[in-house]
Amino acid sequence: MSRVFVTGSSDGLGLMAARLLADGGHQVTLHARNAARAEATRPALPQAGAIVVGDVGSIAETRRVAEQVNALGRHDAVIHNVGIGARGAGRIESPDGLSLIFAVNVLAPYLLTALIVRPERLIYLSSGMHHTGTPDLDDPQWTQRYWNGLQAYSDSKLYDVMLAFALARRWPDVTSNAMEPGWVATKMGGPNAPDDLELGAVTQVWLAVSDDPAAHVSGRYFFHQQQVPVHQDARRTHLQDELLSYCAELTGVKLPD
Catalytic amino acids? 153, 157
Alpha helices (H) along 87-236: 100-102, 108-115, 149-170, 197-209
Considering only CA atoms, give the Rg of the chain: 17
Element counts in the chain: helices (H) and strands (E): 8, 8
Among the listed residues 148, 207, 151, the one whose alpha carbon sits nearest the alpha carbon of residue 181? 207
Residue type, 187: K
What is the full DSSP assignment across 115-131?
Answer: HSPP-SEEEEE--GGGG
Amino acid at 226: Q
13 contacts 201 by C-beta, under 8 angstroms: yes
Are residues 76 and 228 in contact, defined by beta-carbon separation less than 8 angstroms?
no
